[in-house]
């Protein structure tokens, strides 16, 4: 009989438990429940929250689960269920990163830490413009779970790496959990310095030496550092966190940091579907962006962009005008700021009116836009071939480097966008999620939108390591809600004139729709129904060189979305006119029933 899996994700505020087991032809989600996480006082033991979530799951599925996994030491497993878990409780895995120069090894180390599922506390580099004492104070105050040191291409000068080690010795950062705990340090730098680094750091830290993550300018080897992060997370950090010692005896596989698990399932999806994918998870405090581009996984964490705790930061970073520009009504920007700051001070409140919801969605649009923009700086390609001079004479350190990296992300080459997090997953209408993704990410060409129904991706990520088929089946059938295919020309002609002709052939029946420049149109195609789509650009409309093209697709909850507004989306400068345009687009995509007219300002004051 195929196995069943109990999987928990111990988050900062809630512990989410799911049961996956055989149903019909494959594995399906059999139940889901959640309970508050108990990492802080008065419990200070995550297993209390895990038990509580499992008891609730027992009620949902009508089976006894707790005795199956909550074993006392030495007690044998009953063998009916596999138990797996991910964790981001207590702020997740927090890493301090060192490199030599900002643009080379510090950047590679940052990518390794992000790929390992970490929250980055700080990235230190010799050329980061900060005085030594400022960095030392920063190290002293940051209380990391782990330190990752990269630095020096193989064969280069080792003095700078050793200075980094000396300063780390001088700063003596304290660990976040446990006063006697020796902070794990991963050294992934110049191999010539390995032994000396070991000698310098071993007195104070628990040192692990792995392969250089940037052995040459044009080569990046992040795998060993990422694996070391996962191993040390489980063997050191988790053992110090309240209750994890016990939890780690219950699980049948290593506990994964939550973002690492999400990354794992994204990689698997990209691999199985043979497409580039981009996922956005907008939380209360942070927004994570994941992408898999041509088989390479990238992750960024925008630690200050979120919908509740970080709403004030979105306001500051995006600017009030940029939030207001997505609203389907005209309002004083300060009234919008009042509402956003109210969300900041009462992070758990929900919108009380449709206008409040629209303000939250405008905020979410900007948070995703900014997080995506930050992600593009992380998802980069290394220089393909180093110049003769840099290979011959360059040693990272004293001279620094200005080798150019290229952006890996081209929005016209992403086959699947996945939205997750409360603002996207729990939007009252899926069409609203589609509009937020369209406005924030501004995809081009043809792509597909999905949202995560109940944020199960971490669970499926950890499951994918053990049973990838089960993970993918649940992902497809129970987790991802397809919104629909998206067709978006980059260039359109005169507003109001036909820009693109889209024909759908469903069960032999053909429907053709003409979409005008400046409009959004949804062509109905029920969820799961297959269709052949033919797209013909008209007039000056351009799909980056593509003329007429066709593809096979399936419908989603929204339908086939044709966005003929052009890129970047042309927003009128006049506030009244802009509100009218937003109201029209919101109506066209089915996000709101505004009949193309902005809401009355009187409703809002």
Which parts of this chain interact with other proteins (CB under 8 A)? 12, 91, 129-134, 136-137, 159, 162-163, 165-167, 169-171, 196, 199-200, 285, 304, 309-313, 315-316, 319-320, 334, 337-338, 340-342, 344-347
Instruction: Provide the minimum distance between the beta carbon of 332 and other proteins in the complex, in angstroms, as a whole number.
Output: 9
Instruction: Provide the minimum distance between the beta carbon of 321 and other proteins in the complex, in angstroms, as a whole number.
Output: 10
Q: How many CB atoms lie within 10 A of CB 367?
A: 32
Find the length of the chain: 605
Instruction: Provide the minimum distance between the beta carbon of 597 and other proteins in the complex, in angstroms, as a whole number.
Output: 26
Specify the DSSP element, H or E, that contains 95.
strand 93-98
Cα 242 from Cα 250, distance rounded (Å): 15
Instruction: Provide the minimum distance between the beta carbon of 44 and other proteins in the complex, in angstroms, as a whole number.
Output: 14
Closest to other proteins by CB, 44 or 75: 44
Q: How far is CA 237 from CA 4, 144, 241, 433, 528, in A?
A: 29, 10, 7, 37, 44
Instruction: Provide the minimum distance between the beta carbon of 572 and other proteins in the complex, in angstroms, as a whole number.
Output: 24
**CA dihedral of residues 53, 464, 237, 139 (deg, nearest 10):** -110
Q: How many CB atoms lie within 10 A of CB 176?
A: 19
Instruction: Provide the minimum distance between the beta carbon of 118 and other proteins in the complex, in angstroms, as a whole number.
Output: 16
Residue 287: both structure tokens together: 């927004």
Instruction: Provide the minimum distance between the beta carbon of 166 and other proteins in the complex, in angstroms, as a whole number.
Output: 4
Instruction: Provide the minimum distance between the beta carbon of 254 and other proteins in the complex, in angstroms, as a whole number.
Output: 25
Closest to other proteins by CB, 166 or 577: 166
Closest to other proteins by CB, 36 or 312: 312
What sign for the dihedral angle of Cα 47, 50, 55, 58? negative
Closest to other proteins by CB, 311 or 588: 311
Could you tell me if 300 and 551 are in contact, meaning their C-beta atoms sit under 8 angstroms apart?
A: no
Residue 341: both structure tokens together: 């700051």
Instruction: Provide the minimum distance between the beta carbon of 138 and other proteins in the complex, in angstroms, as a whole number.
Output: 9
Closest to other proteins by CB, 304 or 450: 304
> What ranges make up the beta strands (E) of 151-276?
184-187, 206-209, 256-257
Closest to other proteins by CB, 257 or 518: 257
Cα 436 from Cα 559, distance rounded (Å): 16
Cα 116 from Cα 111, distance rounded (Å): 8
CA 38 and chain centroid, separation: 24
Closest to other proteins by CB, 337 or 466: 337
What sign for the dihedral angle of Cα 111, 119, 276, 488? negative
At which residue do the structure tokens 């889901």 appear?
A: 32
Q: How many CB atoms lie within 10 A of CB 374?
A: 19
Closest to other proteins by CB, 122 or 231: 122
What sign for the dihedral angle of Cα 563, 569, 570, 576? positive
Cα 369 from Cα 305, distance rounded (Å): 10
Burial (CB < 10 A; 0-12, 13-18, 19+), residue 602, is: exposed
Instruction: Provide the minimum distance between the beta carbon of 375 and other proteins in the complex, in angstroms, as a whole number.
Output: 21
Closest to other proteins by CB, 345 or 526: 345
Closest to other proteins by CB, 161 or 522: 161
Closest to other proteins by CB, 128 or 252: 128
Instruction: Provide the minimum distance between the beta carbon of 230 and other proteins in the complex, in angstroms, as a whole number.
Output: 23
Q: What angle do CA 258, 378, 110 make, to 5 degrees?
A: 65
Could you tell me if 394 and 385 are in contact, meaning their C-beta atoms sit under 8 angstroms apart?
A: no
Cα 5 from Cα 69, distance rounded (Å): 11
């Amino acid at each position: 009989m195929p196995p069943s899996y109990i999987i928990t994700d111990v988050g900062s505020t809630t512990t989410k438990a799911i049961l996956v087991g055989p149903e019909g032809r494959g594995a399906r989600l059999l139940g889901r429940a959640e309970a508050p996480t108990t990492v802080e006082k008065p419990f200070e033991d995550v297993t209390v929250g895990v038990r509580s979530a499992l008891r609730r799951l027992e009620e949902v599925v009508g089976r006894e689960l707790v005795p199956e996994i909550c074993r006392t030491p030495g007690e044998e497993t009953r063998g009916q269920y596999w138990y797996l878990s991910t964790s981001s409780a207590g702020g997740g895995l927090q890493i301090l990163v060192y490199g030599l120069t900002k643009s080379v090894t510090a950047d590679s180390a940052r990518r390794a830490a992000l790929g390992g599922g970490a929250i980055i506390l700080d990235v230190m580099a010799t050329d980061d413009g900060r005085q030594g004492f400022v960095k030392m104070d920063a190290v002293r105050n940051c209380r990391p779970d782990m330190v990752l040191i990269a630095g020096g291409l193989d064969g280069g000068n080792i003095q700078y790496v050793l200075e980094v080690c000396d300063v780390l010795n001088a700063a003596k950062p304290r660990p976040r959990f446990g006063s006697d705990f020796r902070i794990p340090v991963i050294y992934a730098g110049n191999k010539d310095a390995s032994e000396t680094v070991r000698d310098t750091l071993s007195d104070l830290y628990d040192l692990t030496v792995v392969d250089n993550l940037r052995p040459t300018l044009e080569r990046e080897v992040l795998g060993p550092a990422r694996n070391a992060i996962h191993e040390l997370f489980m063997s050191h950090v988790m053992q110090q966190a309240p209750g994890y010692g016990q939890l780690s005896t219950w699980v049948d596989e290593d506990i994964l940091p939550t973002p690492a698990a999400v990354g794992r399932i994204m990689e698997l999806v990209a691999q199985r579907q043979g497409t580039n994918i981009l996922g956005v998870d907008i939380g209360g405090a942070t927004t994570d962006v994941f992408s898999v581009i041509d088989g390479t996984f990238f992750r960024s964490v925008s630690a200050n962009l979120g919908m509740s705790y970080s709403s004030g930061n979105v306001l500051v970073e995006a600017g009030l005008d940029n939030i207001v520009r997505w609203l389907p009504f005209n309002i004083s920007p300060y009234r919008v700021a009042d509402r956003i700051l109210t969300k900041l001070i009462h992070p758990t409140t929900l919108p009380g009116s449709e206008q409040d919801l629209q303000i939250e969605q405008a905020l979410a649009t900007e948070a995703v836009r900014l997080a995506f923009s930050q992600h593009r700086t992380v998802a980069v390609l290394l220089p393909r071939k180093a110049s003769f001079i840099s290979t011959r004479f360059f040693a990272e350190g004293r001279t620094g480097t200005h080798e150019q990296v290229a952006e890996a992300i081209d929005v016209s080459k992403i086959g699947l966008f996945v939205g997750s997090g409360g603002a996207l997953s729990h939007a009252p209408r899926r069409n609203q999620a589609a509009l937020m993704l369209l406005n924030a990410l501004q995809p081009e060409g043809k792509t597909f939108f999905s949202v995560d129904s109940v944020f199960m991706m971490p669970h499926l990520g950890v499951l994918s390591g053990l049973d990838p088929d089960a993970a993918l089946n649940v992902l497809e059938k129970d987790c991802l809600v397809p919104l629909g295919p998206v067709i978006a020309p980059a260039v359109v002609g005169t507003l109001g004139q036909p820009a693109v002709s889209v024909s759908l052939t469903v069960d032999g029946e053909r429907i053709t729709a003409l979409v005008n420049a400046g409009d959004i149109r949804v062509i109905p195609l029920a969820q799961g129904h297959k269709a052949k789509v033919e797209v013909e650009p008209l007039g000056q409309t351009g799909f980056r060189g593509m003329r007429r093209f066709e593809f096979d697709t399936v419908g989603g909850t929204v339908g086939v979305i044709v966005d003929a507004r052009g890129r970047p989306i042309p927003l009128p400068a006049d506030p009244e006119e802009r509100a009218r345009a937003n109201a029209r687009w919101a109506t066209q995509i089915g996000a709101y029933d505004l009949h193309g007219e902005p809401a009355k300002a009187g409703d809002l004051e």
